[in-house]
Amino acid sequence: MDQSPTANTSVTVADVAHKAGVSKATAARVLGGYGTVSDRAREAVTAAARALDYRPNELARSMTTGRSGTIGVVVGDIENPFFSLAMRGITDVARQTGFTVVLINSGEEIDTEKAAIRTLLAKRVDGLIVSPAKESDVGHLKEATRSGRPLVLLDRGSDALDVDTVIADDRHAAEGITCRLIALGHRRIAYLTACDTPDHRFRTPADINTGSVRRRIEGFLGVCRDADLSGMEDWVHVGAVTPEHTRRIVTAMLESSQRPTAIIASDSVIGLEVFKVCRQLGLGIPNDLSLVSFHDADWTSVTTPPVTVVRQPVYRLGETAARLLVDRLNGKGAQASRVVLQTEVIERASVTEAPA
């Protein structure tokens, strides 16, 4: 029969009040830390709470206050180092400011994302940080803001949405590396992304729903056009959604007669896979193929050769998004702000002149 003394079947303020010999209201004032209370009462309540091992029920508190102290985060894939690092930035700020984070993985699928938003709104999160899977399909996000809960977009913006947005200067970064490659004599430059289109083919940037990637491709194509390279749309490859897909695409690309002399990988997971395929096919980097990857993942500096990358301030991306959201939740927000964080190209040895 060992019922522990702390058979805590939810001790409530009423229980504490009773034990302390005061009214529920007074006990609530002490435990909730509001209103004015005498020292005598405060001590009595505190002692009673300790004796009963009182635990506040945040759910009940949220009910009346309307604030849950929670922010909802929807990312594409927490397993991707990009998101896990951004997530670290978000959780750090959340902890410092007394918020709790609910994480949902969208798997970059729009339906999952919609369901996630619905769930989070039902749970009454105070605000949202979302990395939208599709820039074009943001009705559910609009709805979220309409319900009065602030939203911050992470890494991907949307012109249709006038909300706080934190992105990197993707277009500029893409322009930079494309220029560099062209200057080195590259003409057959492939751009490879996980973003997909219905028929798995790329025609125009408008096909790409992920804002950050679309901007990069626009930058890439723009520079190519300026350099009088035409038809570069054919060199944009979509659908590298898994390592297997990536391997298939890259293998096909590298085994074709017109194989690229340089590849730009849209994230480090893809970059890694490109690297692996090259090694497998016996192609040398950079002599047979130059490689540039987005995201300065930790391993990129340690391969042979080390990989030239676009360093994105990923932690700060998450941190800034969270700070923006918290500020707004504290009523500090003015107009929607669009923060563009700068990227930086880290030149390493995976890029060289195009082979003759």
Partner DNA sequence: AAACTAAAAGAGACCGGTCTCTTTGACTTT
Partner DNA sequence: AAAGTCAAAGAGACCGGTCTCTTTTAGTTT
In the complex, the residues that contact DNA under the rule CB under 7 A are: 10-14, 22-26, 28, 31-32, 34-38, 40-41, 54-57, 60-61, 63-65
Interacting residue with its own copies among 15, 18, 24, 84 (CB under 8 A)? 84
* Under rule CB under 8 A, residue 2 binds its own copies: no
Interacting residue with its own copies among 15, 24, 46, 101 (CB under 8 A)? 101
Shortest distance, CB of residue 140 to DNA, whole angstroms? 19
Question: Considering only CA atoms, which of 172, 180, 167, 170 is closest in space to residue 347?
Answer: 180
| DSSP character string of 153-167 | EES---TT--SEEEE
* Binding-site partner at residue 256 among DNA, its own copies, none, CB < 5 to 8 Å by type: none
* Binding-site partner at residue 37 among its own copies, DNA, none, CB < 5 to 8 Å by type: DNA
Q: Do residues 310 and 292 make contact, with C-beta atoms less than 8 angstroms apart?
A: yes
H/E stretch holding 48? helix 39-52
Q: What type of residue is 352? A: T
Site for its own copies in 297-316 (CB under 8 A): 297-299, 301-304
* Under rule CB under 8 A, residue 22 binds its own copies: no
* Under rule CB under 8 A, residue 105 binds its own copies: yes
Q: Do residues 268 and 82 make contact, with C-beta atoms less than 8 angstroms apart?
A: yes
- Dihedral angle computed from the Cα positions of residues 305, 347, 89 and 135, in that order, rounded to the nearest 10 degrees: -100
* Under rule CB under 8 A, residue 248 binds its own copies: no
∠ Cα 232 311 173 (to 5°):
35
Q: Quick one: DSSP state of residue 300?
A: G
* Under rule CB under 8 A, residue 97 binds its own copies: no
* Under rule CB under 8 A, residue 353 binds its own copies: no
Q: Is 97 helix (H, G, I), strand (E, B) or coil?
A: coil
Interacting residue with its own copies among 18, 42, 88, 348 (CB under 8 A)? 88
Backbone angles phi, psi at 342, to 5 degrees: -85, 145
Q: Considering Cα of 178, then 296, then 197, then 145, what sign does the dihedral take?
A: negative
| DSSP character string of 169-182 | -HHHHHHHHHHHHH
* Binding-site partner at residue 251 among its own copies, DNA, none, CB < 5 to 8 Å by type: none
* Binding-site partner at residue 104 among its own copies, DNA, none, CB < 5 to 8 Å by type: its own copies
Please, is 351 exposed, middle or buried when counting C-beta atoms within 10 Å of its C-beta (0-12, 13-18, 19+)? buried
Question: Considering only CA atoms, which of 108, 110, 119 is closest in space to residue 75?
Answer: 108
* Binding-site partner at residue 85 among its own copies, DNA, none, CB < 5 to 8 Å by type: its own copies
Shortest distance, CB of residue 70 to DNA, whole angstroms? 16
Q: Which two tokens stand for residue 238?
A: 């979509």
For helices 268-281 and 243-255, the axis angle rounded to 10 degrees is 50
Interacting residue with its own copies among 28, 44, 74, 85 (CB under 8 A)? 85
* Under rule CB under 8 A, residue 43 binds its own copies: no
Interface with its own copies (CB under 8 A), residue total: 55
Shortest distance, CB of residue 8 to its own copies, whole angstroms? 5
* Under rule CB under 8 A, residue 68 binds its own copies: yes
Shortest distance, CB of residue 61 to DNA, whole angstroms? 4
β-pairing, 151-154 with 164-168? parallel
Q: List contacts with its own copies (CB under 8 A).
A: 4, 6, 8-9, 55-60, 62-63, 68, 70, 77-79, 81, 83-85, 87-88, 91-92, 95, 100-105, 112, 119-124, 143, 146-148, 269, 272, 275-276, 279, 297-299, 301-304
